[in-house]
Chain A
């Protein structure tokens, strides 16, 4: 059963809503939330998974704590790179978990069972999102930001309501909850939170599922032979993912835990660049602050400001290659990421040239852009998605 249809999930939300109001004065809000969150994780996903996840949080905290207390210099940089690499190795293991399970299959019942349980652990805790949050913590702490205690850190790394489908919350926003006074519960914000949650449930479990039922029937098998099929799947994914994100957003608002908005009418975008600032916004923001800006700064320092425009384009393409790899660690997804990155880089070149012309400033041109832009964006997104659809559906083309 989907986590968001599980009555235990809503019982946990209600208990946490009340529990957060009973916070003792000696305990910070982030630590209190972290502790209650662990209890909920045990109730929803089991003690084994929660203890393993807490172990991960503690190890990350220990490594970052040592990093905070080390002196500036080469050894500190090496430690920082080491933490990044360690977390990335775990992420790659998560992406290839099924491969390892297959490899260990037949190596003896004990090993096989262990491999299965490790694979299910990585699947359950949605490691892809945990990885991005870990990178955000490492980036902020290594730049001199505050390191939360292990329990608070676990509350940031894996809030129970973001387990099914994100979004990627921001570490510096989570740290701020200890600096600001707790919002007093009131009827209007309570209803607004519930309204957001129910809107998400409606989009995911009514709109998206009716859309799917209409096109696939009771069999539920997606056809994926043509571009029209891909566009039908894209619309389904939009309602499905938007619905999930809204439920997480609503629960976050109810509990007073910073939860980013993930969608802002992406199909009204007039360029592919704009589309990626409206679709899965939290991932786009993460890539911008955690990868694009550091990469751009690094390349400008290395090659000089004269090459800043070219390095900007290269950084764009590399960031989208990362986005592709983050979705799936396969050549198809790298190719998809590189293609989307190249389209966005090309758009940037055309847009910069176009902005210099007089024609770009007329009202009729702007109107035409607003009408034709969304059509162009939809066509490009469907076209690029078409490349990866067979792999997503587990069909060989």
Chain B
């Protein structure tokens, strides 16, 4: 069995972080222009 490449996992995690942050920034930007975030 091949050993797990930790650097690859770390890179994958960082890529996911960037994608999630980008989505949040896009939504926050839209929110300020078109709608308001909110629960109840």
Contacts and interface: CB of A to CB of B under 8 A. Distances in A.
Nearest to B32: A1
Given A188-B10, A191-B10, A220-B35, A201 B24 contact: yes
Interface in B11-28: 13-14, 16-17, 20-21, 23-24, 27-28
Q: Among B13, B31, B37, find the residue whose CB has the most chain A CB atoms closer than 10 A.
A: B37
Nearest to B23: A206
B35 A213 contact: yes
Interface string A210-221: 100100001010
Contact of A393 (B14, B36, B40): B40
A26 interface: no
B21 A209 contact: no
Given A188-B10, A220-B36, A392-B40, A209 B31 contact: yes
Contact count band on A: 20 to 34
A199 B31 contact: no
Interface in A161-218: 187-188, 191-192, 194-195, 198-199, 201-202, 205-206, 209-210, 213, 218
Contacts of B39: 236-237, 240
Interface residues of B, number: 20
Contact of A198 (B21, B36, B38): B21
B35 A218 contact: yes
> Does more than half of chain B's interface fall in helix, strand or loop, or is it mixed?
helix
A191 B14 contact: yes
A364 to B, nearest CB: 36
A30 to B, nearest CB: 30
Given A191-B10, A209-B27, A209-B31, A202 B20 contact: yes
A194 B35 contact: no
B23 A195 contact: no
A242 to B, nearest CB: 13
A195 to B, nearest CB: 5
Contacts of A195: 13, 16-17
A163 to B, nearest CB: 15
Nearest to B18: A198
Contact of B37 (A2, A191, A199, A393): A2
B17 A220 contact: no
A5 interface: yes
B36 to A, nearest CB: 6
B17 A205 contact: no
Contacts of B37: 2, 5, 205, 209
A220 B27 CA distance: 15
Contacts of A188: 6, 10
25 contacts: A2-B37, A5-B37, A188-B6, A188-B10, A191-B10, A191-B13, A195-B16, A198-B17, A198-B24, A201-B20, A201-B21, A201-B24, A205-B24, A205-B27, A206-B23, A206-B24, A209-B27, A213-B35, A218-B34, A220-B35, A220-B38, A222-B40, A240-B39, A392-B40, A394-B40
5 A-B pairs closest in CB distance: A198-B20, A202-B20, A201-B24, A206-B23, A198-B17
